[in-house]
Structure formats: structure tokens, C-alpha cells
């Protein structure tokens, strides 16, 4: 506040007053009134200034406790209380008049707000959609926090690729990022920090529904997030889920895989938005399969259980079906009503499972392998050199069945005592004990039959020698 003494005050209308003293003498008459200070400048609305009035009589003597009436000629600029307290109301000028009896005086008041602070409200803001707007308000304030309406405001954005601002402080989101919005007025500046961070308000999922005819089938589901104004949210973090993973699974890229018959909902979620795709898995029968598809038997009488099932396009079993079983060559292998296959003889055949118009075949091979070679006799004695005995060999599989279509290889590790030909005929060559070995060509390497032959005497009657 500044006080000046140079203001001129308009003459006040003075009304005559008659004062009569109680003691009968004439009371003092107000002849002159002065107001101090005579001029006032107020820099903030609500600011006050106390005025005082001095009332003098004709002799220039102060009249104590003289009554004074105060008035303002413009209450929209400044008001004055009965005690002379002036309060700033609005920018402009006003005259304050004081009257006491026939005397009057006054003071000039000028109200001119002075900017002491400058602020933008709100000071921060986050926009979640391109095209979304935020209204900023810039205020120039005097010392009492009153807005100075006469201050012009200019707006600017530090990053118009993120947000723009118009002349009225309306901010519009353009792209993700941060931008400082600056307001300038009255030689002062203030900023608001604006962040644009798109959030998905909806997610469009494609396809919205899929039916799988086979387990293991897949489909790529795509998700497109959009903000509230319909702009694509490019960098949205989409999370995928399935309501029933026993029916359909989904990976982090949206690849859906059929896992079992039924229905499931696959959802793509980003923030508070989500989109869904309805998945149905309903296997379609395209063929019949047998497990195992091939069997090899190594002994007659061996058995194996075959399982037949309907198959979808990816070979997965499905449903319950009734099958009729048969063998194309029961001389090689037979099959019962439950799919139990039994080896009969060496050879090959197909075992069929039939259900309606659908059928499947499993290949069955019977190829005997000897697990033992039996010699008859296993022990024998020849009485003289030159005597002979015929040995017979029989290879049997692990179930004791003779192995068909096998050849035998004969050998005599002690040829000085006995020898053997390719037909198993043993001939005594010298006194002693020797072994005859036979191997079946359809036997494993460890399956060898052994016969022990003793030659009792030579042609001269010598006793047999001991053989290890």
C-alpha cells in the first residue's frame, strides 16, 4: 500500500446542524474536517486501510469525539466502515467522504491488484485415450489469493507430439509420453505435467468362435486393444487365459490348442478390458486305429492284447465303439472277441477290427526262436572204434514248441574220440569220452545242445582213455 497526499476531494454537501449544550452555552461548531491519509492505493482485493478524520472549530481547535459519518461513492471499488476502515472490493478508483456537522473532507482510493503468484490447476494430469482432453486453469493471484482477471494468459506445449493446448488451456492427448504445458501471464509462468498413457477400454478378438473336429487342432486368436476413443493401443500387454484347460489351452501368443471334448472360453485381457473367443471341441470320427499296430511273436502260444478305438483326424482315440475281431490267417494267429491274439505257427497275418463301415488292421508276425536245443540220446556208449550212433536234435521255443524251419550245425570238439556228420551220425574214432555239440540256426547264440559219447574199446581191446 502506498499513501499519497495529492488527491483532491470533491466538496461535500454540508447540512446545517444546531447543537445546544446542556449547560446553556453554545457547543463548538465544526468548521473544518481533514482525512488522513488523503489518498490510498490498495494492491489486493480485501486489503484494508484505516482512515482518520480530524474535526476543527472556527478557532482551529480540535473538537474531541466529534461524530463523523463515512461514505464511499463506489462500493464496487471500495467500501468504508462507520469507523473509517476502507476495504478494497474491485479494481478502480473511489472517493471516501467524511462528514461532521457542516464540515466535510475525503480521501481518494485506488485499487489496482498486483500479481504476487501464478499457478496452473490441476498441476498434473493423466490422459488414457488419444483425443481425450483436460481443461487447465491458469490464475494470476494478488497477495490475498484473489484472481486478477485483467492478466492475459498464453498457453504452450513442450511436446506437441504428446499433447497440444489451445488458447483457452484445453489440452488434447496426441501420443503416449509426457509433456509440460506452460501458462504465461503478467511476466510469470507456471506449468502442468501431462502424461498420456493409453489404456485399453475394449479388446476385439478374432475369431470370436471356433469349433475343433480333432484334438491337437490349433487356431491363432488375435486381440486388438482400443482406447475409449477407438484408437488402437499398440503396446498393450495382453494376457491370455482359458476357462477350462482340459478342453482348450492358450499360450502367451494367443495360440489355442484343442485338448478335450467340451466348451471353453478363451479371454484376452489388458488392464480392465477384455475380449473373448468361444471354443468348442467336438471330435469327428474319421477312422479306426489299433494299438499296437504291429506285433511279433517269438514263441507259439504267446499272446498279446490289441486295443481298437475310433480316431479323429489327428489320430487321437475317441468314444466307445463295439468291434468285431478276426484274423486273416488263423493258421498263423487267432484272435478272440476281446482282441486277444495267440501265435499258432510261423508266418504272418493281419488281424482286423471292424465297426460298421470302419475297419483297421494290425500286422502279426510269428517267427519262432529256439530257447533250447534238445539231443536224443544225450548220453551214449559205443563199444568199439568204428561203431556209430545217430543223434536227433530238436529246437524248442520258450513255450516248449518245436521250432519249425530250422537247420542244425553239428560239431565234435574231440575228433580223436568221436566225429559227427551233418546229419547227426556219430562215429567212434578212439577210446575215450567225447562231446557232440549242435546249434539251431533259428536259435540264440547261447542255445547249444550237447551229447556225451563214450568209446569203450579199440579194435585191439584197449581200455578207454579219460577225457576232460
3-state DSSP assignment of residue 466: coil
pLDDT in the model for residue 261: 95
Out of 3.90.79.10, 2.60.40.1080, 1.10.1030.10, 1.10.443.10, which CATH number does the structure's domain 203-281 have?
A: 2.60.40.1080
pLDDT tens for residues 205-223? Answer: 999 999 999 999 999 999 9
Q: Could you tell me which CATH number the domain at 117-196 has?
A: 2.60.40.1080
pLDDT tens for residues 171-191? Answer: 999 999 999 999 999 999 999
Average pLDDT over residues 324-333: 97
DSSP secondary structure, 340-364, as one string: EEEE-SSEEEEEEEEETTEEEEEEE
161, 198, 213, 228, 250 from 225: Cα distances, Å: 21, 10, 30, 10, 18
pLDDT in the model for residue 459: 60
> Predicted confidence band at 460 (pLDDT cuts at 50, 70, 90)?
low
| CA 33 – CA 49 distance, rounded (Å) | 19
| CA 28 – CA 193 distance, rounded (Å) | 70
Say whether 287-366 and 117-196 share the same fold: yes
DSSP letter, residue 62 = B
pLDDT tens for residues 306-319? Answer: 999 888 999 898 87
Nearest to 63 by CA among 72, 75, 55: 55
Q: Could you tell me which CATH number the domain at 32-111 has?
A: 2.60.40.1080
pLDDT in the model for residue 351: 97
78, 102, 177, 213 from 17: Cα distances, Å: 29, 7, 78, 114
CATH architecture of 372-455: Sandwich (2.60)
Backbone angles phi, psi at 333, to 5 degrees: -150, 145
pLDDT tens for residues 226-236? Answer: 999 999 999 89
> Predicted confidence band at 170 (pLDDT cuts at 50, 70, 90)?
very high
3-state DSSP assignment of residue 391: coil
The answer to whether the CB of 220 falls within 8 A of the CB of 206 is no
pLDDT tens for residues 400-429? Answer: 999 888 889 999 999 999 999 999 999 999
> Predicted confidence band at 24 (pLDDT cuts at 50, 70, 90)?
low
pTM of the model: 0.60
> Predicted confidence band at 21 (pLDDT cuts at 50, 70, 90)?
very low
Is it the case that residue 18 has pLDDT exceeding 60?
no
C-alpha cell at 91: 479494481
pLDDT in the model for residue 26: 74
Is it the case that residue 332 has pLDDT exceeding 70?
yes
Nearest to 112 by CA among 76, 148, 73, 71: 148
287-366 topology per CATH: Immunoglobulin-like (2.60.40)
Nearest to 128 by CA among 51, 48, 226, 203: 226
Domain boundaries of the chain, sorted by first residue: 32-111, 117-196, 203-281, 287-366, 372-455
Amino acid at each position: 500500500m502506498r499513501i499519497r497526499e495529492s488527491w483532491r476531494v470533491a466538496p461535500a454537501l454540508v447540512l446545517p446542524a444546531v447543537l445546544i449544550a446542556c449547560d446553556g452555552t453554545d457547543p463548538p461548531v465544526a468548521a473544518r474536517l481533514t482525512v488522513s491519509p488523503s489518498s490510498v492505493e490498495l494492491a489486493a482485493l480485501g486489503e484494508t486501510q484505516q482512515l482518520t478524520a480530524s474535526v476543527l472549530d472556527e478557532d482551529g481547535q480540535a473538537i474531541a469525539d466529534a461524530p463523523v459519518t463515512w461514505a464511499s461513492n463506489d462500493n464496487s471499488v471500495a467500501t468504508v466502515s462507520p469507523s473509517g476502515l476502507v476495504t478494497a472490493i474491485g479494481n478502480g478508483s473511489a472517493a471516501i467522504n467524511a462528514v461532521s456537522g457542516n464540515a466535510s473532507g475525503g480521501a481518494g482510493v485506488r485499487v489496482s491488484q498486483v500479481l504476487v503468484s501464478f499457478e496452473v490447476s490441476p498441476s498434473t494430469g493423466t490422459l488414457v485415450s488419444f483425443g481425450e482432453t483436460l481443461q487447465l486453469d491458469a490464475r494470476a493471484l494478488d497477495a490475498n489469493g484473489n484472481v486478477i482477471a485483467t492478466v492475459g494468459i498464453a498457453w504452450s506445449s513442450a511436446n506437441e507430439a504428446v499433447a497440444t493446448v489451445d488458447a483457452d488451456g484445453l489440452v488434447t492427448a496426441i501420443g503416449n509420453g509426457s509433456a509440460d504445458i506452460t501458462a504465461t501471464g503478467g511476466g510469470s509462468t507456471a506449468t502442468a505435467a501431462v502424461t498420456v498413457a493409453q489404456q485399453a477400454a475394449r479388446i476385439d478378438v478374432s475369431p470370436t468362435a471356433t469349433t475343433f473336429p480333432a484334438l491337437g487342432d490349433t487356431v491363432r486368436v488375435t486381440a486388438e486393444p482400443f482406447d475409449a476413443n477407438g484408437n488402437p493401443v499398440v503396446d498393450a500387454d495382453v494376457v491370455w487365459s482359458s476357462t477350462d484347460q482340459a478342453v482348450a489351452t492358450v499360450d502367451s501368443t494367443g495360440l489355442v490348442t484343442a485338448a478335450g471334448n467340451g466348451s471353453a472360453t478363451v479371454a484376452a485381457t489388458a488392464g480392465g478390458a477384455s475380449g473373448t473367443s468361444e471354443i468348442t471341441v467336438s471330435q469327428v470320427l474319421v477312422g479306426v486305429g489299433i494299438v499296437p499296430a504291429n506285433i511279433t511273436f517269438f514263441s507259439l502260444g504267446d499272446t498279446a492284447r490289441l486295443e481298437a478305438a475310433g480316431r479323429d483326424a489327428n489320430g487321437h482315440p475317441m468314444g466307445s465303439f463295439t468291434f468285431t475281431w478276426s484274423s486273416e490267417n488263423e493258421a498263423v494267429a487267432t484272435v478272440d472277441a476281446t482282441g486277444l491274439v495267440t501265435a499258432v505257427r510261423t508266418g504272418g497275418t493281419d488281424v482286423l477290427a471292424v465297426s460298421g463301415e470302419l475297419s483297421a488292421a494290425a500286422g502279426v508276425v510269428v517267427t519262432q526262436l529256439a530257447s533250447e536245443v534238445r539231443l536224443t540220446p544225450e548220453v551214449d556208449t559205443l563199444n568199439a572204434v568204428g561203431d556209430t550212433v545217430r543223434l536227433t536234435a530238436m529246437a524248442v521255443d520258450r513255450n516248449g514248441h518245436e521250432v519249425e524251419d530250422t537247420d542244425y550245425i553239428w560239431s565234435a570238439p574231440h575228433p580223436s574220440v568221436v566225429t559227427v556228420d551233418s546229419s547227426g551220425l556219430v562215429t567212434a574214432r578212439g577210446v575215450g569220452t567225447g562231446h557232440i555239440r549242435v546249434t539251431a540256426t533259428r536259435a540264440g547264440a547261447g542255445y547249444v545242445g550237447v551229447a556225451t559219447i563214450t568209446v569203450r574199446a579199440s579194435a585191439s581191446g584197449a581200455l578207454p582213455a579219460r577225457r576232460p
